[in-house]
Amino acid sequence: MANMEKNSLTMETFSFNRVEIDIVALQNNFQNIQQKVGSRVKVMAVVKSDAYGHGMTACARELYQVGARTFGVAEVWEGVALRRAGVRGEIIVLLGGTPETYDAIIDHNLTPVVYDIDFINGLSHTAAVKNTEARVHLKVDVGMGRLGIQPSQVETYISLIKRLPAMSLSGLLSHFPVADESEAFEKTRKQLASFKEVVARLKAKKDGPVVSHIANSAAFINFPETHLDMIRPGISLYGYFPDASPKGAKRAVPSMDLQPVMSFKTRVVQIKELEAGCGISYGHTFITSRKSRIAVLPVGYADGYQRKLSNRAEVLINGRRAPVCGRVCMNATMVDITDLPPVDVGDEVVLLGRQGGAEISADEIAQWLGTISYEVLCLFGSLNERVYLSNDQKMG
């Protein structure tokens, strides 16, 4: 049931597995981020890639309710989807577009990031034909080595945009590659200085406001001087610190209160009593060393619970941790509940999130997988039924 957003508790069919999205936590995170940077700094809510698995349109709608007026998407089709869902405000397309998307950009009032002369010319022509104006943000590469023009090219591109009909430069942006690495802080400061120099040159030559923005989650948390006119929180919006060490980050910035928005849950479908010496799952990579109770869970790598979690991960049952034993299958995972109080078929199992006083975070799962929390959230959210919670009520 990939990418499904349920609108009520009543479903003709259901999955054993579900991802829960806490709307209250999402809104609180946005408000806390806005409070941290102050009312003079805009906050772009980054909802690209299905809001990191949390559901793009649902999250954008709820964020709008608490003051979000700028949204960041990766591609034009995402911006179109938000408009068709009734989302207002500015929608900035961070990857820009292609000639095939000119009409959609204009018709749906999207703001593309630009870095290509041919694209800029074509967009200008389409906007002029439609008797309207296209707003764009110009991307400068100050060290990411990804999208963007070189600082030395900025004047050329700005002159072109000012010269063309039906075009308006409304923003200038860049991106940090290592703002989440403490040993690279000096590099980040040099990149910020380079970008601010470009911004200063632009503001000295252009009439009208141009929004400057470079700060991702790591930068706005670690470097207040990067806030400029707008910040672009992504992972922090969904309750995680970008350096994958939330406790340390919270000590460094005690004013930041981020709450994980996503939980991933399943249930026990069978309990097996096994003698010592029994192999479990494919390859018998786990063999019981004692008389054991094993719970079978109806979740596996088809649901984003990757095979690499075999014999490595833990889950929560009745507020206690239970280790995964044996290989994770396509649709099944086994956990050892021998040391837990009685467990029954049908009991809730938390793969990601809180249960009682215990918690398994996306950072912890990422460590088991050798990746980052971003990927964990995208995996779970994109491959499972999503249910939205607000004040203990499910909502779409």
Phi then psi for residue 345, to 5 deg, are -60, 135
Q: How far is it, in rounded angstroms, from Cα 308 to Cα 295?
A: 19
- Integer CA distances (angstroms), 110 to 98, 133, 362, in order: 13, 11, 32
Q: How far is it, in rounded angstroms, from Cα 172 to Cα 111?
A: 12
**How wide is the angle at C-alpha 275 spanned by C-alphas 317 and 328, nearest 5°?**
50
- Report the SS3 class of residue 292: strand
Q: Of the listed 190, 205, 282, 291, which one is catalytic?
A: 282
**Chain position carrying tokens 């095939």:** 100
Residue 173 belongs to what H/E stretch?
strand 167-173
Are 95 and 108 in contact by the 8 Å Cβ rule? The answer is: no
Q: Of the listed 36, 48, 139, 265, which one is catalytic?
A: 48
- Integer CA distances (angstroms), 280 to 180, 269, 329, 351, in order: 40, 16, 11, 20
Residue 318 CA, distance from chain mean position: 29
Q: How many CB atoms lie under 10 A from the CB of residue 29? A: 26
Q: Is-catalytic flag, 282?
A: yes
**Chain position carrying tokens 């860049």:** 174
How is residue 149 annotated by DSSP? B
Q: Is-catalytic flag, 240?
A: no
Q: What share of the chain is helix, strand, coil (3-state, %, to 5)?
A: 35, 25, 40
Question: Hey, what are 101's tokens?
Answer: 């998307």
Q: How far is it, in rounded angstroms, from Cα 71 to Cα 61?
A: 10
Q: Which residues are catalytic?
A: 48, 282
